[in-house]
Structure 1
Amino acid sequence: MNDENLNTQELIERISSSYGVTTQRALAEVLGVPSNSISTWIQRNSLPGKAIIQCSLETGADLNWLMTGELVNSHLRDEPLLKGKQLYDEIMANGGKLVLRRLLDAYGFSMQKELGDLLDISSGTISTWIRREYFPGDVVVACALDTGVSLRWLATGKGEMFDSQPEVVASSISIPKKKLVSGVLNDAGNWLMDPALSAVDKDCLVFIDGVGHSWLVNTEAKNIANGRWFVNIDDSYDVYDISRLPGGKIKLTNPNVSFECGASDVTPFGAVLFTLEKHV
């Protein structure tokens, strides 16, 4: 993993902290790499993605904390399933088609080209992963941070696709959460909300997380009227501001497109109650 914004020295310090070691030699031993590898990574400001994955799965360190240092506590899970060489062997045995399939599922893609276009990776490179049973550690790290899927599931295929959600706070209600990726809705656990946000029955509510926005949707609403709606068109979901027109037609508008069609050409998923805009 080589990035001009990457501070390999700090990243290695967080990995060392997660393992509880203080020297480069000790870190090399727990990672199972040659003793001079650590200093080489620092000199080149480049660190293999599989080392980050191994540390996160082996120690329970949060992946986002390892990469950015934004969390205070690096040990978030009690005990890993595997450690050391057993864990490394399991990760490497999940290269090629196995990890590619999970990458596609995490992003909601059906074709390799979609993944390549998103990450600016050539089709030839992805084909090489399959041919050589290669484990693309850097891509796995990026995918886990980008989609929120479980790193353990992404790297090994074990466990749930999304980590379990925290216990419900007494004053909150839990509603289904879905993630919108390239027109596909994927289950993403639950979302906690203050019941004062909506008077709609919680059994009719769904929270949908998108790239730049998130939406609280009332799935009980099925009769399209003027307003913002979450709809399905040709097996692809998206959000549109809809205006009713004479003759059974509607006008659909969002930041990317504006068009008219018959009301019967769309299938409403639900009415949007409010929109959350992300600024980072």
Structure 2
Amino acid sequence: MKNFVNIQNTQFRIPLNSLPAYDGGDTVILRLLSMFGVRNRLELGDVLGISSGTFATWKTRNTTPFELLIRIHLATGVPMEYLCFGHEGEAVDLMKYGVSKKNEYIDGKVIGIEDRLATYRLPSLKIFSIENGHLKPKTEFFADKSFMQLAGLVGVDADLTVLESGNLLFINSNEITVSNGRYLFAINEIYQIGVLRMLPDGHVYLFHDGDKYQVDPNTTKIHGKVVSVLEMV
């Protein structure tokens, strides 16, 4: 009952109880032509497995081909919001999740599509939490381009995500040389996140509540630097 009342009193970005003005017909067809970079509807139909008669029906009825848009989203990672509504000037990377069908020669071995598909998966974020000083896996979810932009992760190398006080901290585990910032580190294998800084004396210090503490490199291991934070409000 509580959830029902909360939902009833919440305004969502897109109303749940009414049909949004999805693009359809010629608008969607032209968007797909541009997105796939094909010359005409014949080529587009060949790519998508759709007949010219189907395109004509979409145009006549101003139809939104929801199943196709979902299929394109799942196959390529292009955001559903873009496919349904479009955004002028937005560039999409169709080949982001594609796997080449051509054989490659690596270290004298032939690597075919079967080998690449065996290890292929959509990009995902593995989320951990620090519980009683231990780093424990919480969940894993796939993240599309829109989310990565929202989190400020486009162009940022982050391969570890830690949930702390309701916020998501994105960490680059390759940055293990301390300069200045927030870091994931462990003292005698007890994990924590804190502000570390190297001072002119050449030593690394932990700054906490206005005090500083010299870090012992013999007992402390740096596991990465926080490169972006997604705050929950």
- Indicate the TM-score class for this superposition, using the shorter chain for normalisation: 0.3 to 0.5
* Bigger Rg over Cα: 2
* Greater helix content: 1
Which structure has more RCO (C-alpha within 8 Å, separation ≥ 6)?
2
TM-score scaled by length of structure 2: 0.41
TM-score (norm: length of structure 1): 0.35
Greater strand proportion: 2
